[in-house]
Structure 1
Amino acid sequence: MRDYEIYELGDILLQSGDTLPHAVLAYKTYGTLNAAKNNVIVYPTWFAGQHTDNEWLIGTGKALDPEKYFIIIPNMLGNGLSSSPSNTPPPYHQANFPQISIYDNVRLQHQLVTQKFGITKIALVVGWSLGAVQTFQWGASYPDMVERIAPFGGTAKFRPHAKVVFEGMIAALQADSVWKNGYYTQQPKTGLAAMGRVYAAWGFSQAYYLEHLYQQEGYHTLEEYLVDYWDQVFLTFDANDLITMLHTGISSDISSNPVYDGDFELALSKITAHALVMPGSTDLFFPPQDNKYEAQHMPNALFIPIESKWGHCAGIGQHEPDSEFIDRRLQNFLLE
């Protein structure tokens, strides 16, 4: 039995100019929408993540408390639950699935929030990694609607280095002979494992590996960690779904839309919501200096790094001290 709902969007004109027919957004809610409809938190998913992967930050007594807030987790397009290459019928299946932007994702999430639930104010948008990019986009696209944003472990646009890393992950996957230009008849497992090996170098910091911190996860040796975790991590996903999300990340830029026409600093200046920007101090994907620059161009931003050796994955809920830090900061932020 599925533990999420489906919102039917109909035929959607995407930013690319393509039309995605019979588009759907998968989402899950936690808590109860109050009568004033002002206790809303939107919590988008991340690359290779689904709503269940966000649940570590939700719970009684936590910042995202379902006894106080109505929390909506919309699944990204391409993640296998919302419209994706793996669940879209021909002719838009597999490698024919159209390009999806961050702007597309947030615009459709806004449609869910406003048309399905009749919500006009959002107390907080929060997200990690590609979820953080969506969080920034919410602030830039709907400044009068969003009261607070809390992006962590992600930037408002992909810098060249992050794009190179994502391109490397795509190249590793597509080198599998089973790939067949995206029209495979079986999942390219060798390529999926190779993608995991590429990600492994960037998901955590140099100190994480140097100090054998993976042993805290139950792995005795580096080889065991790479084989038993990273070689397996993407095997449950469809390859085209992963590439769709990677391309979404590569093209992400909150100003790359008709509203801001590529003026990044202008887009940042229009994020009037109170913002809590939390990069991982050792994040190799999204280094803190990029977030610091962004926060300096936002009128109401607080820049607080997560001091951690867990790199980018300081925000994934695996390391309890990092998780407690994020939750504590969010609790204080929601009280301000």
Structure 2
Amino acid sequence: MTPDLGAGANDAPARSILRGCSSSPGKSYLSIGSFEPELGGNLEDVTLAYETWGEPNKAGTNAVLVTHALTGDSHAAGCPSEGYKRGGWWDAMIGPGRTLDTDRYFMVCVNVLGGCGGSTGPASEDPATGEPYGMRFPVVTIRDMVRAQKLVLEALGVERLALVIGGSIGGQQALEWAVSHPDFVERAVPVAATGALGPQGLAMSELGRRAIMADPDWQDGDYYGTGREPEEGLAIARMAGMVTYQSPEGQWERFGRRPASRPAIHPEFGGRFEVESYLQYQGRDLVGRFDANSYLYLTRAMDLYDVAAGYGRAGDAYARISAETLFVGISSDWLFYPGEVRRTAQVAQEAGADAHYREIHSDSGHDAFLKDWDELDAAIGPFVHKDDES
């Protein structure tokens, strides 16, 4: 059996993306109590930060869970503000009349367990010691993140997810939701993600982690309150990551071999190219808003994810899925190759899942799901809105 591949994103007319920004009631926090991660350890008191948009229906069945990418957080939609200079990271997709229509759906986005956007993570206080966890924080997995999210949804009165959707590590979460909780999810859209990251992605993650851990200011993870943080290591990790989010074609178009046009951040060494300057600025930007230890934990969770773990093989895991599932690949993605995403859809369908595949045609690389709004809408809009007339 072959998957329903559909047309490429550029082959379908895009629905109109409404511009502007969505209003949010702001960040909320929920204590879910003690939590035992999949790979061991215990967290005595876990808090998760989340945001919502729209209103739940009385049956609790119109909820959409949006799962964020590596350095994202719960602020998926909203206007630019002092804390979020660019606004919500998926604001173009969320709001009245948009692809994820808040007049119809109750939107929820939860900052992942282990993150640094308000949820319990390495920078949080360990109740047993009164000090930040640092590297004493237990290793967390994608399944842990999903299990914690479910507790938030239950507290919000959600009985069933109409849709779960996300890209990259968020796509891994969307897939795991469909596998772990088949009776809770009606539809799932993993974007730019598969059931297991390949060796090239694993290698790039390790480069980033080593950059952080080799920084003398990392201090074995106990840098909190010392006045010194591994800023250089985190910046280099971000630079390495940004390379995997681009594509060769996109970089030629955007940067070529042009000399740098921005002021230098680091000492000059034989001049600078524009792409070097871009990476340096991206590194500095992340340092100002993200915790280095969370970067270690979340990249490790992304690396460790294997949908087949505990089931024997991937097909056995996909056989559990009852949600209609749309896998979305990006033509120029070399972190999660589109061929691998397509093959994931094939294996899922061969296992009996109602799985489909669509591809975004873009030179933006892995980052296309965070910037190419019309192409993204063309890929997922028909799937999300297929029952609008029923």
Structure 2: runs of 5 or more not aligned: 1-24, 76-88, 263-273
1:235 offset after TM fit, Å?
3.6
Identity %: 28
Does the 8 Å contact 1:133/1:156 carry over to 2?
A: yes
Q: Secondary structure of the equivalent of 2:360?
A: coil
Residue 306 of structure 1 corresponds to which residue in structure 2?
360
Picking from 62, 69, 79, the partner of 2:115 is: 79
Residue 171 of structure 1 corresponds to which residue in structure 2?
210
Residue 35 of structure 2 corresponds to which residue in structure 1?
12
Aligned ranges 1:309-324 → 2 under 5 Å = 309-316=363-370, 318=371, 322-324=372-374
One-letter amino acid of the structure 1 residue matched with residue 149 of structure 2: Q
Residue 241 of structure 1 corresponds to which residue in structure 2?
294
Q: Work out the CA distance in 2 between the residues paired with 1:117 and 1:230.
A: 36
Q: Which has the higher contact order (CA 8 A, sep 6+)?
A: 2
Structure-2 change in CA distance of 1:117 and 1:158 (3 Å): same
Aligned ranges 1:1-336 → 2 under 5 Å = 3-52=26-75, 53-80=89-116, 81-89=118-126, 90=129, 93-114=133-154, 116-184=155-223, 185=226, 186-212=228-254, 221-257=274-310, 260=311, 262-298=312-348, 299-316=353-370, 318=371, 322-336=372-386
1:214 offset after TM fit, Å?
8.8
Q: Secondary structure of the equivalent of 1:48?
A: coil
Structure-2 change in CA distance of 1:219 and 1:232 (3 Å): farther
1:129 offset after TM fit, Å?
0.8
Q: Which has the higher helix share?
A: 1
Q: Work out the CA distance in 1 between the residues paired with 2:91 and 2:296.
A: 24
Structure 1: runs of 5 or more not aligned: none
Count of residues paired in the alignment: 325
1:131 offset after TM fit, Å?
0.4
Q: TM-score, normalised by structure 2?
A: 0.79
What is the Cα-based RMSD across aligned positions, in Å?
2.1
Q: TM-score, normalised by structure 1?
A: 0.91
Does the 8 Å contact 1:197/1:231 carry over to 2?
A: no
Q: Secondary structure of the equivalent of 1:233?
A: helix
Q: Deviations over 1:311-336 (max 9, x none)?
A: 110011x3xxx211222333311233
One-letter amino acid of the structure 2 residue matched with residue 37 of structure 1: G
One-letter amino acid of the structure 2 residue matched with residue 87 of structure 1: S
Deviates more, 1:35-44 or 1:322-331: 322-331
Q: Deviations over 1:25-62 (max 9, x none)?
A: 11111100011222110111221111223434212211
Deviates more, 1:135-144 or 1:39-48: 39-48
Q: Work out the CA distance in 2 between the residues paired with 1:36 and 1:171.
A: 48
Q: Deviations over 1:263-283 (max 9, x none)?
A: 222112222211111111111
Q: Work out the CA distance in 2 between the residues paired with 1:170 and 1:238.
A: 13
Q: Work out the CA distance in 1 between the residues paired with 2:261 and 2:367.
A: 17
Q: Secondary structure of the equivalent of 2:235?
A: helix
One-letter amino acid of the structure 1 residue matched with residue 102 of structure 2: P
Structure-2 change in CA distance of 1:39 and 1:84 (3 Å): same
Q: Secondary structure of the equivalent of 1:50?
A: coil
- Structure 1 stretches of at least 4 aligned residues deviating more than 3 Å after TM superposition: none
Does the 8 Å contact 2:247/2:332 carry over to 1?
A: yes
Q: Work out the CA distance in 2 between the residues paired with 1:56 and 1:244.
A: 29
Q: Deviations over 1:292-316 (max 9, x none)?
A: 1110122211111111111110011
1:154 offset after TM fit, Å?
1.5
